[in-house]
Each structure stands twice: as structure tokens, then as C-alpha cells.
Amino acid sequence: MAHSPIQDYLEALHARFRDLKSGALADYIPDLSLADPEWFGICIATPDGYVYEVGDCRQPFTIQSVSKPLTYGMALERHGEARVLEKIGVEPSGDAFNAISLHPKNGTPLNPLINAGAIAACSLVTGDSMAQKTAAILETFSRYAGRPLDIDHTVYQSESATGHRNRAIGWMLRNFSVIEDDPTATLEAYFQQCSIRVTCRDLAIMSATLANGGINPVTGQRAIPEKFVANVLSVMATCGMYDASGDWMYNTGLPAKSGVGGGIMAVQPGRLGIAVFSPRLDQQGNSVRGLAVCHALTADLGLHMFDASQRTIPAIRRATTRRSVKSNQRRSQAANDYLLSVGKKLRLLQLHGALTFASIEPVIRLLTKETDTCDVFILNLKLVPRIDHAAASFLAGIRQKVSALGKLIVFSEAGACWQNLIDTGVEREAFFSDDDFALEHGENRILADHFPDPAERGQTPLANCDLFQGLGAQELALMDQLLGSRAYAKGQTIITAGQASNELYVLTAGAAMVSITTQEGIARLDAFSSGATFGEVAFLDRSPRSANVTALTPVSCRVLTRADFDKLDSIAPLVKISLLSNLAGRLTTMLRQNGRELASLK
């Protein structure tokens, strides 16, 4: 295993700022001044739960104000946005962290990240007593961190013993009926909230939880409903760093929150969770090394939210037509030729990435335009991890419009998108389990006008079977004599993967398919009806069978054994030559189709 250059970088960053010793420990609570001023940790957590740590990432300290956006999220979860906005504004105050900053008209705190707003948010958390509120807060914070957190009772005692200003704020909120009962329980719960012990690693995972839409990426547990994540990040973006918030946004471009315990949590939404811990603070109460590290990180790593490199990726990963892809349903030469000649009438679009308005817009535009030349669109959604309501609605909308023109849009491998598409009114018939079946459906639709459903072919005489093309009557009689006969019931296995390949099959009645079992289920590789040859590849190269063949209807087969095939060399070499030529023709057809498909995929 190589040493990670990312780990190297973070270690160098740590070394670069280790000697930055300006600032001072918080002293407004005696216990905070007992911290070791040299503590210094940098931690990054990814949205898939990987964690990089350098320095003192496992040293516990108190969360302090970093708790504020999290309890604001709890208030939103309990009461909804409208009710919370009545109690707490979302405007930056321009004032220091402990300013009272109430709205001049109605006494509501200007935002939830100043003390007044945070105390108001704490009052909105579930629970009537301090103990109930604290339990609820600990439970939620522990989900964010992915481990059970606890309270530093010494710090709590300190906070409570010295929290006169916060008590004044609490009673002022009571005065304006922002808090509607005795604020004492809320205040004590707020002191406890600030005294929760976390590590730098915890803060990074909490941050990654917000980056990840509210789901802790390490444990998979949800800490906050997805719909409130944007609210929390918004107030962090505009008010997270007290009266230096504009400057912070300008320089780092990340929603963030600092605490006087020395922690800073910064979120790159959808991308990264970042935490820095170092207890020496500047005059605004932000960690000196924390600010310096975050500035350097954003500059070095290009994390600024408004950086042009954060551009979206178009949702269309690949667009192909029936010229380069086909279903695994074998068709007559005439039908195949027709499908190739009108190949543009069927398009397969593979989409990828999360489907949002911006990423689906080019898809809608293409579908809107291409209805002029195309009859059937298949949208493969295998690589789409999620689709939002807007994108689903527009897909449902364009599907209706295209239907009204007599054309078709269907989906294959819709997986994670299925429910949202169904919810916006897409019919169940529009979904196929894989491209093969969707392609077959589309091909059938295109063929319908020109190749009306052939009646069941019934028994196909040997003369009409692919393998025996070009043989004379006598030669056919010889083959008839050599070939064994077998019959299979619908659903019965004709060939089992792994078996030796000593027989070559010709289907003389019914239909069958070739399939393999994959992690995702059964994949159909080939489907055919009477007249077709099968089992030829393994037969020719003498390898074990690579797939199963199953009867789709009652089936009759004729079977040529390898012994008889070899015997033809002496008894009827010209027949052998014909069979080999016909088999070679089938192989070259398959190769050319594969070639087209490979070229379209690359």
C-alpha cells in the first residue's frame, strides 16, 4: 500500500500551522482556560465515510457554539420551517457572538447562530425539562457523530455558574414571548448542549453528515431530515462566523460554524466534511489555527463553493441508436435488415449522476427535439443514484407529450428512480428490468407496422434451419438420420452452464433463451425461435458451456454430437464444409454486432 498523498498534504498543512501561536484560550468560562493551547487536529471525512486525521483528532473538548446549527435543525424538524421562522430570523446581525441582537420590532433573535437565536432554538427542542431536552440533544448529536456523546459536567457547571448574560437573554426572549414559558429549563439545557464533549473527528463526521444530505456516512443513520439540511447550511453560510461571516464566505466559500472550545466545522455540501481543532481564539472567538487551516485548505484544494470547477456534469453518459445496440432477441434477416436501416428510430440514452433540473434539462431538450426522427427512446437509469421531484416531473411531462405524438419513452434499470417516477404519474408499463427487454419492446413496436407478428412457426423442416442452408435433399436426409431428437417442456433447462460441450443444437419447434445468472439476477444473452442454431460457440472451441439455455415454450430440438460431426469428415466432407461455413457466417454476424456495440460503448 502506498502512502496517501492526501494524508501527506494534511500532515504538511498541520506542520505549516503548528507554530502559529497567536490568540488566547477562552477564559470566560474558567474550565476552558485549562485546555492545552498546543492541541491541534485536522480531520476530513468523505461522503462515503472515509476519514483522514492528523494531530489531536481524538482529544475531547466541548462543542460550544458548533452545536447551534444542529439544535436549529432539531427545532426545524419538530416545528417546521414556518413556525421556526416566526421565532428566529435568518439575517446576519453584524454584531459580536454574545450581542443580544433582537429584532427591533418584535424581539425575535436575528438568526439562530447568535446566542439569543440558539437559546430560542433550544427552547423549541422536544422536552419540557432540562433532562428531556438534553437527552434529545445528546441523542441527535450522537447520530451526527456516529457514537454516543456525553457531557463534560465540569464545564457545564462552569457555564451555568457564569451564564448571567445568557440568562438575561433568556428572560428577554420570554419578555417578547419568543420563549413561551419559564426559560430556566431551556437555559440549563442550552448550557448542557454547549458542554457536550466531541473530538475533531466527531466534528468532521458531523460535517460530512450535513454534506451527505443528513445521513451519517459512517453509520448510515439519519441525523436530520434531508429537507432541512439546506436551511441549516444557509444560516451557517450567512451567519456562521459571527461578524466575520462575509469575509469567511468570500475567502473559504463554505458554510461553517466555530465554537469557543476551539473547534470549527466546515461543510463542502455534497462533497466533504472538514473539522479543525485548536483552542487559541482570535478576538471574534474563532480558532486562530482553525481559520488559517480552513483558508489554506480552500485555496489549496479549490473547495470554494462558487469555484467554477464545481460545475455540473451533463446527465447523458452515452447516446446510441438501434444501429449499434440491439436486443438479444434473434430476428429474421429481413427484420434485422429493416431495424438496421431505420436504426435512428430507436435511441438508447444512458443517464448518470443525480438527476436535478440542471442535469435533466439537456435530456428534456434532446427528447423534445429528437421526436422528429425517433419513435422509441429508452432511458437507462442504472447509474442514477437519485432523481429529485423536479427532474422526475419533467421526465413524466415529456413522456406524455411524446406519447401524444405516437412515440414512446421507456425506462430500464430505474432502481433508485422508480418510486419518484411512479409518483409523478409514469405508468408501470414504462419500466423494464434491463436494456435487453426494453430494446426488444422498442424493436417490436418499430417492426409492428412492417412485420406483423408472424404466426407461431410451428415445426421448422431441416431445410429451413439456419445450419443446413445450402444442403441438397440427399444431404438433408443424411443429417436427418444422424441427428438425435429431444423435446423439452416450457421452462425446462436444455443446456446447463459448466457442462461439457459435445453437442450442437438446432431448434425445430418453439422458442428458447440463453441466460446467465449475475449478481443482479438473470441476464438474457440470446433469445430465438425455431430454425435457429444454438450452443455453437462452446461446441466449436470445445470449452465448457458458459450459459444456460431454457425452453420458453414447449421445444423440439435436433442434436448433432461431436462424434457425428467429426464422422462427417469421412462420410460427407462437403456437408461438413457447409455446416462450418454456415457456423462461421453466424460467428461473423455476432462479431460485427459486438463490434458496433463496443464502438458505441467506448
Q: Could you give the residue numbers annotated as active site? A: 65, 68, 190, 242, 260
- Amino acid in position 312: T
Told to check if 169 binds its own copies by CB under 8 A, we report no
Told to check if 398 binds its own copies by CB under 8 A, we report yes
Binding mask 4-33 for its own copies (x = CB under 8 A): xxx-xx------------------------
Told to check if 339 binds its own copies by CB under 8 A, we report no
Told to check if 180 binds its own copies by CB under 8 A, we report no
Phi, psi values for residue 447, rounded to 5°: -75, -25
Which of 15, 168, 313, 500 binds its own copies (CB under 8 A)? It is 313
Told to check if 517 binds its own copies by CB under 8 A, we report no
- Residue 342 Cβ, how far from its own copies at the closest point, in Å? 19
- Residue 32 Cβ, how far from its own copies at the closest point, in Å? 27
Query: Which residue, 307 or 456, is less far from its own copies as judged by CB?
Result: 307
End-to-end CA distance of the chain: 31
Task: Kindly state the number of chain residues that form the binding site for its own copies, as judged by CB under 8 A.
Answer: 116
Told to check if 492 binds its own copies by CB under 8 A, we report no
Which of 64, 371, 515, 533 binds its own copies (CB under 8 A)? It is 371
- Residue 376 Cβ, how far from its own copies at the closest point, in Å? 14
Told to check if 592 binds its own copies by CB under 8 A, we report yes
Told to check if 598 binds its own copies by CB under 8 A, we report yes
Q: How many CB atoms lie within 10 A of CB 565?
A: 18
Element (H, E) at 277: strand 272-277
Told to check if 550 binds its own copies by CB under 8 A, we report no
Told to check if 569 binds its own copies by CB under 8 A, we report yes
Told to check if 261 binds its own copies by CB under 8 A, we report no
Question: Alpha-carbon distance 349 to 430, whole Å?
Answer: 15
Q: Which of residues 36-75 bind its own copies (CB under 8 A)?
A: 46-48, 50
Which of 147, 401, 457, 562 binds its own copies (CB under 8 A)? It is 401
Instruction: Beginning with the edge strand found earlier in the chain, give each strand of the sheet holding 533-534 in spatial order.
Output: 484-488, 555-561, 503-509, 533-534
Told to check if 577 binds its own copies by CB under 8 A, we report yes
- Residue 196 Cβ, how far from its own copies at the closest point, in Å? 24
Told to check if 581 binds its own copies by CB under 8 A, we report yes
Look up cell 463526521; give the residue.
205
Spatial contact of 442 and 434, defined as CB atoms under 8 Å apart: no
Question: Alpha-carbon distance 51 to 40, whole Å?
Answer: 17
Q: Which of residues 99-118 bind its own copies (CB under 8 A)?
A: 111
Closest CA to 67 of 252, 220, 214, 260: 260
Question: Alpha-carbon distance 482 to 462, whole Å?
Answer: 12
Helix H segments across 214-268?
226-239, 245-252
The DSSP output letter for 352 is E
Told to check if 265 binds its own copies by CB under 8 A, we report no
Closest CA to 124 of 73, 195, 188, 184: 73
Question: Alpha-carbon distance 413 to 425, whole Å?
Answer: 18
Spatial contact of 399 and 376, defined as CB atoms under 8 Å apart: no
- Residue 8 Cβ, how far from its own copies at the closest point, in Å? 7
Told to check if 214 binds its own copies by CB under 8 A, we report yes
Question: Alpha-carbon distance 500 to 505, whole Å?
Answer: 14
- Strand-pair category, 511-518 with 263-268: unpaired
- Listed ranges 114-122, 170-178, 284-292, 303-311: which one lies at the site for its own copies (CB under 8 A): 303-311
Task: Dig out the grid coordinates for 173 from the structure.
Answer: 426572549
- Per the DSSP assignment, residues forming a β-bridge with 265 are 257, 275
Which of 476, 537, 552, 559 binds its own copies (CB under 8 A)? It is 537
Query: Which residue, 64 or 328, is less far from its own copies as judged by CB?
Result: 328
Told to check if 353 binds its own copies by CB under 8 A, we report yes
Question: Alpha-carbon distance 80 to 73, whole Å?
Answer: 10
Told to check if 303 binds its own copies by CB under 8 A, we report yes
Element (H, E) at 14: helix 5-18
CB-neighbour burial class of residue 347 (10 A; exposed 0-12, middle 13-18, buried 19+):
buried
Which of 125, 305, 462, 513 binds its own copies (CB under 8 A)? It is 305
Q: Which of residues 229-248 bind its own copies (CB under 8 A)?
A: 229-231, 233-235, 237-239, 243-247
Query: Which residue, 491 or 595, is less far from its own copies as judged by CB?
Result: 595
Told to check if 213 binds its own copies by CB under 8 A, we report yes
Q: Is 361 helix (H, G, I), strand (E, B) or coil?
A: helix
Q: Which of residues 134-163 bind its own copies (CB under 8 A)?
A: none
Query: Which residue, 4 or 419, is less far from its own copies as judged by CB?
Result: 4
- Residue 393 Cβ, how far from its own copies at the closest point, in Å? 8
Phi, psi values for residue 354, rounded to 5°: -65, 135
Closest CA to 54 of 207, 231, 190, 201: 201
- Listed ranges 134-142, 294-302, 470-478, 492-500: which one lies at the site for its own copies (CB under 8 A): 294-302
- Listed ranges 191-199, 384-392, 441-449, 457-465: which one lies at the site for its own copies (CB under 8 A): 384-392
Phi, psi values for residue 514, rounded to 5°: -105, 130
Question: Alpha-carbon distance 467 to 477, whole Å?
Answer: 14
Distance from chain centroid for Cα 57: 29
Q: Which of residues 462-481 bind its own copies (CB under 8 A)?
A: none
Which of 104, 309, 428, 452 binds its own copies (CB under 8 A)? It is 309
